[in-house]
Amino acid sequence: MADERHLAPPPIRRSMVVGVLDSIIRAISRGRRQLRGQTVLKVGAFIVFSFVAMTVIANLFPMLNGYHPTLYRDAPRLEGPTQDHWMGTDQLQRDVFSRILNGGKASLIVAFSAVALSMTVGSILGWISGFTGGWLDRVLSLTMDAIYSFPSMILAIVLVAMFGAGISPMIWAVGFVYIPTYFRVTRAEVLQVRESAYIEAIRAVGASNTRIVLRHVAPNTVNAIMAVSSFNLADAILTVAALSFLGFGLPPPAPDWGFDIQNGQKYLQSGAWWLITFPGLMIITLSLGFGLIGEGISDLVNPKRKRKRV
Amino acid sequence: MGGVGRYAIQRLLLTIPMVFILLTVVFLLLRVMPGDPVSAMLGGRNVSAEVLESYRERLGFNRPIHVQYVSYLSGVVRGQFGDSLRTGKPVLHELFIRFPATIELGVCGLVVSVLFGFLSGIFAAIYPDRPIDHTIRIFHIASFAMPLFWLGLMFQVFFAVRLGWLPVAGRLGGRLAFTFDSVTGFYLLDAIIRGDWRSLSDVAQHLVLPSITLGIALTGLQGRISRASMLEVLDADYITTARAKGLHERIVIFGHALRNALIPIVTVFGLQFAVLMGGAVLTETVFSWPGIASYLVRSIEARDYPAIQGSVVFIAVFISAINLIVDVFYSVIDPRVRY
């Protein structure tokens, strides 16, 4: 182990986990330097940050715009946008705007948790599979490819139907569906890194497999994981919205964009466009925010791509 | 046997474990699922325990899981997916009845996505970093972020309810829905074969909104890949050569660049079909389209196990078949690929 110190890039000894964290922090600080001119990334980050802030504040103070999203029932029934009710009212005489402000809770919680879940499981499986190779790699790859090739939306619906409706079933279902995405990305990166000379050198001085993976292989996959996860969040927002739309989300009185669209569908023939338009715009904007962050990060971590753009 | 033929057989053999894995995952998860299919089938009313038990016995739900699994597997291998708990008819038969509707919608959606996505991507690549390029890229990113069901509903509000130009939902309107006699299951094809122009226009009108909705789902993906691929090709040396020897720009783009740009686009075709099927679930639900995706959603609501399993296996086999065809086709159009 003493000899290895000369080969490992930073000479200071740290624990393996700190090594991984350190590389993430370094990637972020490297990113901060390059942030100049990254309008796309900034716009995306601004959108996501304001949505998170809005949801947190609205859930702390439900009466934010003067109307409670579930308890207030004195508005005129099914009325379009007016001075008092900016986004109209629904069939239960509630204020649509107050429900919009509160309706992002499930989407955000499920999207972040599900992506964290699939990122953890998928990356770890990808590291192990790519690094060890052999029959384990074959079996895992085949399984992951099978899940990946299947339409993720259908799989998520089937899974959530099995687990039952609500926030945590949605987290498990959506998280499960995205595992192959991370598995494929990390495995591909590991396969590239595995054969490189420096890994061979570290192995030659007798570093353990666990140490090689955590300290030297995993940090090389962080960039790829970061870019993928932003796009993944954008997709997760849409999947969660679709699940809520199909009735697998929060139980009815709770405000939720996807479910409110399903509710608005019933009054579509009578021309109540405001019931579906506004929740939909919220979903698009949030998903777009994550998508823009993904675009920005891809430009940052993949300089070749950026050069091509210019 | 040639390289392509051997490759096709190898790919075919690899498809079997894939379908098998999906089948096993779904089977196991369905058995863990809370809720009793038998009482759901009997309407959830207060049925006596003996009646429940007799139904369970008849449908085989009282046997141990591994016995159910083996008997289910052997059924699938023989092409028997069991009977639907809801309707009592064979699942495979019900799926085959609905399959043409999904295919018809899917193909039309694909055409729309090629028109919007592929063409706009190529166009953007020809004028890189001009305003038109940025506009198209924003359009692609926006189509990525678009919830399909919402888009479908907005189309319904605007084009069907407000303007009244197109029908709101379904495959056929008015009296035709009862009188139209389909031979192939593909209504467009039926109407064309019979030369029944009135039906054809009705079928086509019903297809417009769902196809555009579904097509938009793929536009972003296809547009981005087309743009990236075309940019890459336009950067190549042989394009510079072609331009240097004085060829007309139109010939350079359509004769030299476009063909080579097509290769990566074809590669992701299999993936696009998966996205298409996923989008079909929402599109079919919103537009009351009688396809296999909406059948699956209804089966889930009714806890119709044989129907859910059957639909998943059916979709898995279908997707695998598409992937197989795409991979083999890929090796044919790109002679550099050796297996």
Comparing A292 with B55, the larger pLDDT belongs to A292
Quick check: is B273 in a domain? yes
Quick check: is B38 in a domain? yes
Instruction: Name which of A85-89, A248-252, B206-210 the model is least confident about.
Output: A85-89
Quick check: is B83 in a domain? no
pLDDT at residue A308 in the model = 45
Rg, Å, chain A Cα set: 23
Reported confidence tier of residue B301, pLDDT bands at 50, 70, 90: confident
d(CA A126, CA A144): 10
Residue whose token pair is 């119709």 = B304
Which positions in chain B touch A292 (Cβ < 8 Å)? 141
Task: Check whether residue B17 and residue B113 sit in a common domain.
Answer: no
CB-based burial label for B49 (10 Å; 0-12, 13-18, 19+): exposed
Sequence-ordered list of residues with C-beta below 8 angstroms from that of B339, at least 6 positions apart, any chain:
B3, B4, B6, B7, B10, B331
Angle A72-A78-A81 from CA coordinates, rounded to 5°: 85
Quick check: is B82 in a domain? no
Q: How many residues are there in chain B?
A: 339
Whole-number mean pLDDT of chain B? Answer: 79
Q: What is the ipTM of this complex?
A: 0.81
Task: Check whether residue B168 and residue B260 sit in a common domain.
Answer: yes
**Coil, strand, or helix at residue A269?**
coil
List the single residue in B22, B168, B231 with the smallest CB-CB distance to A146.
B22
pLDDT at residue A116 in the model = 93
Q: Is A142 on the interface with B (CB under 8 A)?
A: yes
Q: Which chain B residue has its CA at the smallest distance from A285's CA?
A: B145
Task: Check whether residue B162 and residue B209 sit in a common domain.
Answer: yes
- The answer to whether residue B190 scores a pLDDT higher than 80 is no
Pick from B24, B45, B77: which residue ends a domain? B77
Residue whose token pair is 């296996």 = B313
Sequence-ordered list of residues with C-beta below 8 angstroms from that of B338, at least 6 positions apart, any chain:
B3
Q: Half-sphere exposure (CA, 13 Å, Cβ side) for A113?
A: 15
Reported confidence tier of residue A185, pLDDT bands at 50, 70, 90: confident
Pick from B21, B45, B77: which residue ends a domain? B77
Task: Check whether residue B29 and residue B152 sit in a common domain.
Answer: no
Pick from B77, B104, B125: which residue ends a domain? B77
Quick check: is B182 in a domain? yes
CB-based burial label for A36 (10 Å; 0-12, 13-18, 19+): exposed
Q: Residue B149 — left, alpha, or beta (φ > 0 → left; ψ -120 to 50 → alpha)? A: alpha
Q: Which chain B residue has its CA at the smallest distance from A288's CA?
A: B145
Task: Check whether residue B133 and residue B197 sit in a common domain.
Answer: yes
Enter the tokens of residue B319: 């997707």
Residue whose token pair is 């783009």 = B253
Interface touch A154/B315, C-beta < 8 Å = yes
Q: What are phi and psi of B294, to 5 degrees?
A: -70, -30
Task: Check whether residue B49 and residue B171 sit in a common domain.
Answer: no
pLDDT tens for A250-260 read 777 778 888 88
The total of structural domains in chain B comes to 2
Alpha-carbon distance values, B38 to A284, B26, B54, B240 (Å): 40, 18, 10, 69
For residue A243, the one-letter residue type is: L
Choose from B32, B102, B157, B288 for mutation: most chain A CBs within 10 A.
B157
Task: Check whether residue B234 and residue B310 sit in a common domain.
Answer: yes
Sequence-ordered list of residues with C-beta below 8 angstroms from that of B336, at least 6 positions apart, any chain:
none
Task: Check whether residue B73 and residue B222 sit in a common domain.
Answer: no
d(CA B134, CA A291): 16
Quick check: is B210 in a domain? yes
In the DSSP assignment, the letter for residue B304 is -
Distance from CA of B157 to the nearest CA of A (A): 6
Comparing A303 with B100, the larger pLDDT belongs to B100
Please, are residues A260 and A267 in contact by the beta-carbon 8 Å criterion? no
Instruction: Name which of A91-95, A148-152, B42-46 the model is least confident about.
Output: B42-46
The whole-number average pLDDT for the span B191-219 is 81
Task: Check whether residue B36 and residue B157 sit in a common domain.
Answer: no
Choose from A153, A266, A305 for mutation: most chain B CBs within 10 A.
A153
Tell me if the pTM is above 0.90: no
Whole-number mean pLDDT of chain A? Answer: 80
Quick check: is B71 in a domain? yes
Sequence-ordered list of residues with C-beta below 8 angstroms from that of B69, at least 6 positions apart, any chain:
B24, B27
Helix (H) or strand (E) segment spanning residue A127 = helix A105-132
Task: Check whether residue B203 and residue B293 sit in a common domain.
Answer: yes
Q: What is the CATH number of the domain that holds B217?
A: 1.10.3720.10
Residues 156 through 195 of chain A touching chain B, CB cutoff 8 Å: 157-159, 161-164
Alpha-carbon distance values, A150 to A294, B239, B256, B300, B320 (Å): 24, 38, 35, 17, 9
Q: Which chain B residue has its CA at the smallest distance from A142's CA?
A: B18
Quick check: is B338 in a domain? no
List the single residue in A154, A159, A277 with the smallest CB-CB distance to B277.
A154
pLDDT at residue A310 in the model = 35
**Coil, strand, or helix at residue A63?**
coil
In the DSSP assignment, the letter for residue A76 is P
The whole-number average pLDDT for the span B93-111 is 87
Instruction: Name which of A67-76, A151-160, B68-77 the model is least confident about.
Output: A67-76
Angle A78-A79-A85 from CA coordinates, rounded to 5°: 120
pLDDT tens for A205-228 read 888 888 888 888 878 788 788 888
Which positions in chain A touch B320 (Cβ < 8 Å)? 149
Reported confidence tier of residue A114, pLDDT bands at 50, 70, 90: very high
The whole-number average pLDDT for the span B77-85 is 76
The whole-number average pLDDT for the span A153-176 is 84
Task: Print the domain residue range for B71.
Answer: 3-77
Task: Check whether residue B38 and residue B101 sit in a common domain.
Answer: no
Task: Check whether residue B153 and residue B191 sit in a common domain.
Answer: yes
